[in-house]
Chains A and B, each alone.
Chain A
């Protein structure tokens, strides 16, 4: 329930009271807005008092008579219209003429109501005016929320990018101060660590570009019929060098063609992320299993590993941006903390689903379910 404040300005007492009665008995709802709206009112007979009430009470809506005893409705309007003011004004007058209507609208009135009018006319005009006000407020709320999220994202991003730079700067300082003596071999570890951090940062920037492209809708989706199995095989090849390094084997259990309308690069990003995680968070000598299944209306891809697994608490935070599971076992693993939020965003484009099952010390299984006919739906 949302009570809107309406100020009624009219020098005719009967008019004031009937408008008051109509509004106070009026209740309306708007499409896509959950609240139900009602009115509380204040009434006045003069422009001077109206200006004062607007200032103190800050109404949402003003029903303003054009012809008032001393200062006119137009003058009141001029006085109370400021840039910050959110109030909507409906001009009410018995002397309806195009000229007065135009000057009132020019002055910032939202609409115009000619006397005499039926209560139903008043209601529909008021509803239209309030709808305008409420939608503008909703838009502004959304924009503020967007700004806040963006700001938060940027400060976390700055922090995340600063960390590897600090690390590399520290190592370069050791090098330039020759802290370990003159022999270059003494610095091998330092150079290695610097490379690891620089690569991590590069990966983060790449992920970030993927993410912004998806979010801004700049990345043009090219939806065609593709063979998912082929895309998966390609991703396996991409993951192989990383897997060999850890002696992890990757097995694809279903070799049949699975055709689906999709964007090849999107499915590629999904698979690359899943496989890279399954390898990274695996034990040495571990295994990655890929299962696919074509159902009537959906394609199911699951990737399971024999890795370190996650606790339930850790799983809950999994899809948040820049979240990385921090524990003893993950300390040596580099990651941007963006991979899974990218994955989630792409799967959302398909109106699909991601499921996670994990057991600490046992391994993790990610299952991605993509509805077959949703690739073409506009998002």
Chain B
């Protein structure tokens, strides 16, 4: 059975593109454009991994959503995406133990996303 990925982003075009790309790789995709939609889908819990943008209506919404996903299921892979890294100097990669302890995400990808890398990460995390 194919795996379902939840993609959360307030950029409609990013959602469209990620959906098309992931579907071409055989994934099922569900999407949410805001925190409220995302929370409903997280509550329903019908997905195998999530890709969440940091900035939604609130600047750190992505972290909160990631936290909620992880508190339902510690092992569910979460990838956080963001376009803000370079401009703000905000930088983290969820690599060290310390970062993992407060950023409830498995991987961090900066935008624009390199899709090959995204597929690799997803496959690795869902093994």
Contacts and interface: CB of A to CB of B under 8 A. Distances in A.
Given A166-B112, A169-B112, A331-B33, A193 B16 contact: yes
A171 B10 contact: no
A175 B98 CA distance: 41
A160 to B, nearest CB: 12
A332 B16 CA distance: 13
Contact of B87 (A159, A163, A189, A328): A159
Interface string B107-119: 0000110010000
Q: For chain B, give the interface size range.
A: 10 to 19
A166 B110 CA distance: 13
The DSSP consensus for interface residues of chain A is helix
A189 B19 CA distance: 13
B12 A332 contact: yes
Interface in A155-184: 155, 159, 163, 166-167, 169-171, 173-174, 179-180
B16 A166 contact: no
B34 A328 contact: yes
A166 B20 contact: no
Nearest to A167: B13
Contact of B24 (A171, A179, A197): A179
Contacts of B14: 166-167, 170
A326 interface: yes
Contacts of A171: 13, 17
Interface-central residue, B17, B83, B112, by most chain A CB under 10 Å: B17
Contact of B111 (A155, A166, A328, A332): A166
B90 to A, nearest CB: 14
Interface in A175-210: 179-180, 189-190, 193, 197
B21 interface: yes
Given A170-B112, A180-B24, A331 B12 contact: yes
A174 B13 contact: no
Given A170-B112, A326-B10, A328-B34, A179 B20 contact: yes
